[in-house]
Amino acid sequence: MGEEIKVIVFGLANEEYGIEVEKVRTIERMIPITRVPKTLAFVKGVINLRGVVIPIIDLRGRFGLPESEPTDSSRIIIVAVNDLEVGFIVDSANDVIDIDSDTIDSPPEVVGGIKAKYLRGVAKVGDDRLLIMLNLSEVLNKSEIIQLEQQEA
């Protein structure tokens, strides 16, 4: 049996995803986002959260999914990876669960239209629930984002 991992479960386009709790700083309700010119479409802008300016990424846009208007259940999940704090806009943040690291299988090539490189794997939870585990270092791949920004400039 592998180690237990605490995971925050969030919803995005009718799928359930997971991020390890230790990478999550806070989960916030939607607040006004200041648009930043000349950024990628999925970079929605920045927020000022308790005196810290944090870039906000729409995960739907990052994954090439159709974007949607925020609802009452939309949340911003603030994560920290490699000294970088970033907020992800998600459709909902549902709960915190424990999963066994042994239940995480490597991801198939494409899950729900999302390329495998953004995914750490797929965790089996219970008998019929699959949780798509994000690979945050790829989702926040700085060189790729910089490259994309240069292409748009």
> With 0-12 CB in 10 A as exposed, 13-18 as middle and 19+ as buried, what is 69?
exposed
Measured CA distances, 105 to 11, 32, 109, 131, 132 (Å): 20, 38, 12, 10, 10
> Mind listing the pLDDT tens digit for each residue in 8-61?
999 998 889 999 999 999 999 999 999 988 888 889 999 999 999 999 999 998
Q: In the predicted model, what is the mean pLDDT of residues 78-87?
A: 85
Q: What is the second-level CATH architecture of the domain 4-152?
A: Beta Barrel (2.40)
Name which residue leads in pLDDT, 84 or 124.
124
Task: Name the E strands within 21-111.
Answer: 24-29, 43-49, 52-58, 75-81, 84-90, 92-100, 104-105, 110-111
> Mind listing the pLDDT tens digit for each residue in 72-82?
999 999 998 77
| Residues ≥6 apart with Cβ < 8 Å to 83 | none
Amino acid in the structure at residue 74: S
> In this structure, are residues 37 and 24 in contact, taking their beta carbons and an 8 Å threshold?
no
For residue 44, give the nearest of 11, 13, 67 by alpha carbon.
67
Q: What's the pLDDT score for residue 12? A: 93
How far is Cα 141 from Cα 103, in angstroms, rounded to an integer?
Answer: 26
Amino acid in the structure at residue 130: L
User: What phi, psi does 126 have (nearest 5°)?
Assistant: 65, -155
